[in-house]
Structure formats: structure tokens, C-alpha cells
Amino acid sequence: MKTSFANRENAKPRWFLVDADGVVLGRLASTVADIVRGKNKPDFTPHADTGDFVVVINARKVRLSGKKETQKTYTTFSTYVGGQKIESVERVRARHPELLIERAVKGMVPHTRLGRAQLRKLKVYADATHPHQAQLLEALSIS
């Protein structure tokens, strides 16, 4: 008997459509991260990019539980003196709502070259319109 490993050549990626309207951010991010990594497939291989593409719409309407809307902060640092920027969820949602989902999913994939390649399969849009009509998206519901 031989053990077969999945690789990029024999993986057939599918496209999923997720509506983030009213869905809690953590549940959405963990489900999307599993799909992008390919952990939902029976032939999951940790060292190969066998995940599927995910299109998330209505990122502006994603929900956060508890008091995270006002208390959670995102911190960035430019490595220069005085280059630290702190931003609340309210400001991020007003400025660039896609970042909420992208940052949450980014923290749940490996922090390697493979993880960065898998993150390219995530497409997030603030509203219900997206340019991926031709990919024959399968609707995925997250409760």
C-alpha cells in the first residue's frame, strides 16, 4: 500500500460565497481559515496548498460579540520612533471594513510562505457586489 499526499497539481479548488451579514467575526474567521487551508477536505496535507477560494461579502455588517466594538484595538508599528498606531474597531470599520475579516483570518493561518499563499485565496468585499460571478460560487452558510 502506498500513501498518497495531496499537492497543488491534483487539487481541484472550489469557490465558496459567504455572507457575513450578522455573523460573529470569530466564527466566520475560523470557518473561512479552515476552508482556505483545506482542513475541511479528507485529503488535507499540512505542507501543501490544497485549500479552496472563499469570497466574503457584506464585511461591513459583520458582528462582534461583547464590548469588542468599542474596546478592541488594532496596533501597528512602523519600526520608527513614534510610529505606533492604535485604532479601534469602530474606526477600522468606518475606514476599511474588509480589514476586520482579513486580520482575523490572517491570525488563524500559518505565519509562513504557505500561509501567505493561502491568504491570497481569500477575497473580502464590504458590500454585496463582487467581481467573481464567473467562478460559479457555492453558497456557504455560517451560523
SS3 71: helix
- pLDDT digits 0-9 by tens, 73-126: 999 999 999 999 999 999 999 999 999 999 999 999 999 999 999 999 999 999
66: Cβ–Cβ under 8 A, 6 or more apart, which residues? none
Residue showing cell 457586489: 129
9 has a pLDDT exceeding 90: no
- The answer to whether 5 and 48 are in contact (CB under 8 A) is yes
Which domains does the chain show, CATH number per domain? Answer: 15-140 (3.90.1180.10)
57 has a pLDDT exceeding 80: yes
Rounded to two decimals, the pTM is: 0.90
C-alpha to C-alpha distances, 67 to 10, 19, 20, 90, 100, nearest whole angstrom: 45, 23, 19, 11, 15
- The answer to whether 123 and 33 are in contact (CB under 8 A) is no
DSSP 3-state helix, strand, coil percentages of the chain (rounded to 5)? 30, 20, 50
- pLDDT digits 0-9 by tens, 10-52: 888 999 999 999 999 999 999 999 999 999 998 888 999 999 9
| Of residues 83 and 2, more confidently modeled | 83
DSSP structural state of residue 141: -
CA dist., res. 26 & res. 108, Å (int): 10
Output the pLDDT for position 5: 80
